Chains A and B, each alone.
Chain A
Amino acid sequence: MLSNIGNILLLSNVLIGALIIYYSFNCLKTSNNLVFKNIYQLSLIQSTLILSCFFTLVAAFLVSDFSLINVYQNSHSLKPVFYKISGTWGNHEGSLLLWVIILTVFSFLFLVLNKNHPKNYRLHTLIIQNLLILGFLFFILFNSNPFSIINPVPKEGLGLNPILQDPALAIHPPLLYVGFVGSSIYFSAAMASMVSNYNDRSFAKSIKGWVLISWVFQTLGIMVGSIWAYYELGWGGFWFWDPVENASLLPWFAMTALLHSLLVLEKRNALYFWTIILCLLTFTLSVTGTFLVRSGILNSVHTFANDPSRGIYILVFLSIMIITSVYFLFTRYKPETNHISGNSKETFVLINNWFMMFYLITVLLGTLYPIFTDVLFKSKISVGPPFYNSVIAPVVVFFLVFMAIGPQTKWIKNKFTNLKQLSIILGGALLTNFTIIFLFKSYSVISNLIIISSLFLIFSSFMDLFKKTKLNFARIISHLSFGFLIFFIGLNHNFTIEKDFNLKLGEEKVIDNYKFVLNDLELINQINYKAIIGKLRVKNMNTNEERTLKPEIRIYDNPQTLTYEASIKTNFFKDHYLTMSNIDRSEYYNVKFQEKPLMIWIWISVVMLSLGGFVSLFKNAKNN
């Protein structure tokens, strides 16, 4: 039943998509600047239908309708209601439906909210966006249909992978999708802008809000994913440079670059084609990331069940997207007539873009390189954290310095009058760095440079708050919190203490100034898992600080899986992080203890960073 409803809704969506395209072409032929009323109506119906389609699937998950393969494979009747719902988008087919929802809703909102822009531009955007929608609808219908049925109907579902049964992971995909699927709307707008010759600063105004929304959500989505990895994977790290993580980072770099170049287009009517390239690049990278993740050609922690036929579909789609956008770029390209002075805000925006492109290329290359060597030289290599850290870290130093100086400059032509202030800030940064080393311990040259430059950025953004001129809060908050982010990551990296040892019940162990006792092992039964909970007493003998940590080893029933739950105690200064795992054929448990300073500040910095985006979004909405 639900399967039929779902399929009918999907098919009617295809129909409406086609109708919208048809009417839009008709409407383009008329000479006035009015968009047909029925286009608005169809667009609204389209959004409503796709949402109903999604809720149909949610309903199937809620009532555990195992006649749907998708529900059978990803749910279980005993699962908590919350995870039944989040299971809807926790799998390939369901998440594609979420994709189409965002494509559709953004399409409608863009149409409605941009009434003061020319008809041709809006309609072309709508047409291109609907082509994207149709592309994904066909993908769902022919290859990844969440409403496919199974016969005979199974009595019970297979269940959702327990490490995915987690609140952070339930909200992670929707956030991330609003981010990178949301970028589709400015992909379409950029194409439309080239087709309809709508290429001045008002084009920048029409997409600015959308870029900001997608950037804010992408930032938050990445953070939530990272928090999840931190407490769920049990390694104490929060960023692994894993291919799937990289796939979400690539569009973020492009968006960040776009956010800045858009300023130049808006204020100075320059860098039009570069901005267009970034618009196209963002969504292209999003689809590329989807291709890499869903086709299963990359070896990653977060593997989706993979299937080459999906890969080939997305690859064809991606190729069409790239070829068309490159075709339009090549045929419409005209050299810029507006010029940029060496010492001006424009130049510093270009510098931001320059570094973003460097990060983007590095991460893209690192992610793809193993595929290239495998295909071209038949050799399998790994590219992991040590590669990214060693290539990117030195460059970040310069980036932070430019990031501090850039906002001090003026549009068109600038003169540095505040050299005195800058040198005071630099002195302050050096002094602070020295104090940290003096009080705690020393670290490598590169860490020194990163901490000094992040402090430089922090201080200089902070000074901006006390300026007499009109304040750009959005920028100050974002730059300040980015400085803090790098600063805290730097300190966290250098001051993390790690102890790795084996312990059995009742045993006591002293390592350096820490004393560990495994006091108790408790066995508990929950609805969908059994757990061994260890009670480990940790004492820091220097500070006499004492606390009990309770790591768990969980055995889930559906499907049978063993997971290790970290025990984390957080305060404003540091996290204590402890995981315990059983050692095969032994009564000992392997214990991994970490003291990670300032962890919570890393998350706070990212929230602040996205807050900057929100402020800018708010200001943008008020101005329009």
Chain B
Amino acid sequence: MQKTIKLTISVFIFFILLVFYLSLNKVSNYDTENLVGNKLNQIKLESLEGINYITNKNLKKNSYTLINFWASWCAPCRVEHPFLMELSEIKNLKILGVNFKDKKDNALNFLDSLGNPYHYLAKDIKGKQSVNFGIYGIPESILIDKDFIVIKKFVGPLNFEDLNEIKKIVSSL
């Protein structure tokens, strides 16, 4: 009896110390990796012009869609813009831009001066739609395939590596 108790305690202590050790090499920050593999079923976004809605139907025929959340007031969005411009020329990929908590005029000015990489333009004035996409700060981008399955999430501005990764995924079709 005493032996079992001693053994249990020893194993327990060893277990805790091991977990501590393993956790040292972990990043304790939050990420939304769990969203990868989920299906985005109910996409319904008002277009930037405000005349119609962009839904799953519009995106069905695309092999890949990149949903990008941006705003004219967001500085990092300017940083990633050239990469989006480059992505917009890829054949297999369409880009849906969601203008986030922004004014329409400012948004259009932004696109006028920097170029428009978006095949679809939607708006999310109060930011409520972004919650459906698991967005918690912009810029964020979500890559989905033709079945609306999330393949990859990019938090923060897209960079050169992200660009190459997207190209690789899209061309592997």
Partner of A315, one of B17, B30, B34: B17
Partner of B17, one of A295, A298, A319, A380: A319
A330-B13 Cα distance, complex, nearest whole Å: 14
A297, B29: Cα distance in complex, Å:
9
A296, A315, A376: the one within 8 Å of B21 (CB): A315
Total number of A residues with any Cβ neighbor in B under 8 Å: 26
**Min distance, Cβ B48 to any Cβ of chain A, angstroms:** 18
Complex: A463 Cα to B92 Cα, angstroms: 82
Query: Any chain A CB within 8 A of the CB of B20?
Result: yes
B158 to chain A, nearest CB (A): 23
**Judging by beta carbons under 8 Å apart, are B9 and A297 in contact?**
no
Q: How far is the CB of B8 from chain A (nearest CB, A)?
A: 12
From B9, B21, B24, B30, contact of A380 by CB (8 A):
B30
Q: Which of B23, B31, B34 contacts A297 (CB 8 A)?
A: B23
Q: Does A305 touch B at the CB level, under 8 Å?
A: no
Which of chain A's residues have a CB closer than 8 A to the CB of B31? 380
Pairwise interchain contact A326-B10, C-beta atoms closer than 8 A: yes
| In the complex, residue of chain A having the shortest beta-carbon distance to the beta carbon of B71 | A585
Q: Is the CB of B24 within 8 A of A375?
A: no
Query: Which residue of B is nearest A364, CB measured?
Result: B16
Taken residue by residue from 199 to 213, chain A's Cβ proximity to chain B (1 for < 8 Å, 0 otherwise) reads as 000000000000000
- In the bound complex, residues from chain A placing their C-beta under 8 Å from that of B19 are 368, 371-372, 375-376
Contact yes or no, B23 A326, CB < 8 A = no
B26 within 8 A of A: yes
Query: Which residues on B sit within 8 Å (CB–CB) of A296?
Result: 28
Interface mask (B26-40 → A, CB under 8 Å = 1, otherwise 0): 101111001000000
Complex Cα gap A371–B17 (Å): 12
Contact A585:B21 (CB < 8 A) given known A297-B26, A375-B26: no
Is A322 an interface position by the 8 A CB rule? yes
Q: Which residues of A contact B22 (CB under 8 A)?
A: 375
Q: Which of A264-305 contact B (CB under 8 A)?
A: 291, 295-299
Residues from chain B with Cβ under 8 Å of A312 in the complex? 21, 24
Closest Cβ neighbor of B19 among chain A residues:
A375
CB distance from A592 to the nearest CB of B (A): 20
Question: Which residue of A299, A323, A376 is within 8 Å of B28 (Cβ)?
Answer: A299
When distances are taken between beta carbons in the complex, the residues of chain B under 8 Å from A322 are 13, 17
Q: Tell yes or no: B73 within 8 A of A by CB.
A: yes
Determine if B168 is an interface residue (Cβ-Cβ < 8 Å): no
From A382, which residue of chain B is reached at the shortest CB distance? B30
- CA of A380 to CA of B23 in the docked complex: distance in angstroms? 12
Does A162 sit at the interface, judged by CB under 8 A? no
B6 within 8 A of A: yes
- Alpha-carbon separation in the docked complex, A371 to B26 (Å): 9
B58 close to A (CB within 8 Å): no
Q: How far is the CA of A315 from the CA of B18 in the complex (A)?
A: 10
Closest residue on chain B to residue A243 by CB atoms: B28
B52 within 8 A of A: no
Residue of A whose beta carbon sits closest to that of B17: A319
Beta-carbon nearest neighbor of B2 in chain A: A333
Pick from A295, A299, A368, A376: contact of B29, CB below 8 A: A299
Whole-angstrom distance between the Cβ of A316 and the nearest chain B Cβ: 9
- Those of A304-346 within 8 Å (CB) of chain B: 308, 311-312, 315, 318-319, 322-323, 326, 330
With both beta carbons as reference points, the residue of chain B lying nearest to A584 in the complex is identified as: B73
Q: List residues 122-173 of chain B with CB under 8 A from any CB of chain A.
A: none
In the complex, A291 Cα to B17 Cα: how many Å? Answer: 11
Which residues of the other chain, A, contact B113 by a CB distance below 8 angstroms? none
- Contact status A315-B24, CB under 8 Å: yes
Q: Is B42 at the interface (CB under 8 A from chain A)?
A: no
Contacts of B20 in A (CB 8 A): 291, 297, 315, 371
Contact assessment for A311 and B24 in the assembled complex, using a CB-CB cutoff below 8 Å: yes
> Which residues of B sit under 8 angstroms from A390, Cβ to Cβ?
none
Q: Which residues of B contact A525 (CB under 8 A)?
A: none
- With a CB–CB cut-off of 8 A, which chain A residues contact B4? none
Please measure, in the bound complex, the distance between the C-alpha atom of A258 and the C-alpha atom of B21, giving whole angstroms: 29
Instruction: Answer whether residue A374 sits at the interface, using C-beta atoms and an 8 A cutoff.
Output: yes
Chain B residues with Cβ under 8 A from A585's Cβ?
73, 101
A374–B28 alpha-carbon span in the complex (Å): 9
Contact flags A365-399 to B (C-beta < 8 A → 1, else 0): 00010011011100110000000000000000000
Contact, CB under 8 Å: B23 / A374: yes
Residues of A within 8 A of B29 (CB): 299
Nearest-neighbour CB distance to chain B for A311, whole angstroms, equals 5
Query: Which residue in chain B gives the minimum CB-CB distance to A308?
Result: B24
A371 neighbours in B (Cβ, 8 Å):
19-20, 23
**Complex Cα spacing A83 to B16, Å:** 39
Q: Are B13 and A326 in contact, CB atoms less than 8 angstroms apart?
A: yes
Q: Determine how close the nearest CB of chain B comes to the CB of A471; give it in whole angstroms.
A: 41
A600 to B40 alpha-carbon distance, docked (Å): 51
Contact A379–B34 (Cβ < 8 Å): yes
Q: Within the assembled complex, what's the spacing in Å between the Cα atoms of A322 and B12?
A: 12
Q: Which residue of A lies closest to B28 (CB)?
A: A299
Shortest distance in angstroms between B92's beta carbon and chain A's nearest beta carbon?
Answer: 31
B6, B19, B24, B101: which has the most chain A beta carbons within 10 Å?
A: B24
CB pair A295–B24 under 8 Å, yes or no, is yes
In the complex, what residues of B have CB within 8 A of residue A380's CB?
Answer: 30-31, 34
* Residue numbers in A under 8 Å from B17 (CB-CB): 315, 318-319, 322
Given A375-B22, A375-B23, A376-B19, is A298 in contact with B28 using a C-beta cutoff of 8 Å? yes
Complex: chain B residue closest to A297, CB-CB? B23
A280 to chain B, nearest CB (A): 12
Distance of A170 Cα from B26 Cα, bound (Å): 32
A308 lies within 8 A of B25 (CB): yes
Shortest beta-carbon distance from B68 to chain A in Å: 20
Give the complex CA separation of A326 and B8 in angstroms.
Answer: 12
A69 to B132, CA, bound (A): 46
Q: B16: which A residues are within 8 A, CB to CB? A: 368
14 extra interchain contacts, Cβ-Cβ under 8 A, other than A297-B26, A299-B30, A330-B6?
A: A297-B28, A308-B24, A315-B24, A318-B17, A319-B17, A322-B17, A323-B13, A326-B10, A371-B23, A372-B19, A374-B23, A379-B34, A380-B30, A380-B34
Top 8 nearest A-B pairs by Cβ distance? A297-B23, A299-B28, A371-B23, A311-B24, A375-B22, A308-B24, A375-B19, A319-B17
Give 6 A-B contacts (CB < 8 Å), ordered by A residue: A295-B24, A298-B28, A299-B30, A368-B19, A380-B34, A585-B73
